Every structure is written in structure tokens, then in C-alpha cells.
Amino acid sequence: MAYTILLDGERVARLSSDESVRTWIAKYRDDHAEDDPSAVHLQIIERGTLAWLGGGKLVDRERFF
């Protein structure tokens, strides 16, 4: 499964696995420990094979903590 990470609605990353999303979010949380420790500004879109048609599915960020 592929994922797109949005920060305040702007795409900041495209990742290809659950593990890469976990790694990316862990780094983000470390970098933003003072201003966004819970990563509330992030949105994660799960993109399947037909994502170009339907846009993907918003998933809970806590799934990757």
C-alpha cells in the first residue's frame, strides 16, 4: 500500500510502506517535540491502485505510532 502524508493540507511525502510511514512520523515527532508532539497537523492518505480515480482513504495517524 502507498501513502501520502499531508502537513496542514500540503503534501510533504509519498511513502510506499507502513514501516516507512512509521519512520517518517517518528522523525517528525522528534523534530517537532515542542510545537506538535502528537503530530496533529499530519494527515495520512492511503492510496490503493485506483487512488487516481477516488483520491485515497484518510487513515488515523495513531495507527502508525
CA 37 to the chain's CA centroid: 15
What ranges in 1-65 are assigned the alpha helix state H? 18-31, 51-54
In the chain, the number of structural domains is 1
What integer pLDDT is reported at residue 49 of this predicted model? Answer: 77
* Exposed e or buried b per residue across 20-39, where buried means at least 16 C-beta atoms within 10 angstroms of its C-beta: ebeebbeebeeeeeeeeeeb
* pLDDT lower than 70: segments of the chain: 51-52
Give this prediction's pTM.
0.85
The predicted structure's pLDDT at residue 31: 94
Domain carrying residue 24: 2-64
Phi/psi at 9 (nearest 5 deg)?
85, -5
